[in-house]
Amino acid sequence: MREIADLSNAASVLQWDHEVYLPAAGGADRARQVATLSGIIFEKQTAEPFISLLKNLSATESLTWEQKTNVAVTRRHISRKQKLDKNFVEQLSNATSNGYEAWISARKSNDFSVFAPWLEKIVALKKEEAERTGSWDHPYDALLDEFEPGMKTSTLEKLFGEIKPGLESLIKRIEKAPQTDDSFMHGFFEKEKQWNSGLDVLKLIGFDFSSGRQDISAHPFTISLGSKDIRLTTRINEENFHEMLWSCFHEGGHGLYEQGLDKDSCGLPKAEAASLGIHESQSRLWENHIGRGRPFWNYYYPILQKTFPEQFENVSADDFYRAINKVKPSLIRTNADELTYHFHVIIRFEIEKELIAGKLSVNEVPQRWNSLCRQYLGIDVPDDASGVLQDIHWSHGSFGYFPTYSLGSFYAAQFYQKAKNDIPDLEAMMSKGDSKPLLDWLRSKIHSQGKLYNSEDLCRKVTSESLNIKYFQEYAEKKYEAIYKL
Which sequence positions are flagged as catalytic?
A: 251
Residue 37 touches a copy of itself, criterion: CB under 8 A:
yes
Please report whether residue 266 would count as binding a copy of itself according to CB under 8 A. yes
Contacting residue, 25, 59, 172, 359, with a copy of itself by CB under 8 A = 25
22 versus 199: smaller Cβ distance to a copy of itself = 22
- Determine, following the binding rule CB under 8 A, whether residue 95 of this chain makes contact with a copy of itself: no
Span from 6-14, 180-188, 380-388, 423-431 in contact with a copy of itself (CB under 8 A): 6-14
Q: Does 29 bind a copy of itself (CB under 8 A)?
A: yes
Q: Which is nearer to a copy of itself, 273 or 459 (CB)?
A: 273
Calpha distance 474→456 (Å, rounded): 21
b/e for 106-136, b at 16 or more Cβ within 10 A? bbeeeebebbbebbbbbbebbbebbeebeeb
Is position 40 an interface residue for a copy of itself (rule: CB under 8 A)? yes
Q: State in angstroms the smallest separation of the CB of 26 from a copy of itself.
A: 3
Stretch that binds a copy of itself, among 15-23, 45-53, 196-204, 420-428 (CB under 8 A): 15-23
Closest to a copy of itself by CB, 228 or 461: 228
Residue 262 is a binding residue for a copy of itself (CB under 8 A): no
Question: How long is the chain?
Answer: 486
- 36 near a copy of itself, judged by CB under 8 A: yes
Query: How many CB atoms are closer than 10 A to CB 372?
Result: 19
Using CA atoms, how far apart are residues 425 and 422, in angstroms rounded to an integer? 9
Chain positions 192 to 221 lying near a copy of itself, rule: CB under 8 A, are: 208-213, 215
CB 128 to a copy of itself: min, Å: 24
Is 357 near a copy of itself (CB under 8 A)? no
Interacting residue with a copy of itself among 228, 306, 374, 461 (CB under 8 A): 228
Please select the residue that binds a copy of itself; options are 225, 362, 392, 469, rule is CB under 8 A: 225
- CA 206-208-212 angle, to 5 degrees, is 135
Q: According to CB under 8 A, which one of 19, 30, 239, 394 is a site residue for a copy of itself?
A: 30
The minimum distance between CB 115 and a copy of itself, in angstroms, equals 21
Residue 209 and residue 211: Cα distance in Å, rounded? 5
Rounded to a whole number of angstroms, the minimum distance from the CB of residue 392 to a copy of itself is 21
CA atoms within 13 A on the CB side of 282: 30
* Interface residue list for a copy of itself (CB under 8 A): 2-3, 6-7, 9-11, 13-14, 17, 21-26, 28-30, 32-33, 36-37, 40, 208-213, 215, 225-229, 266
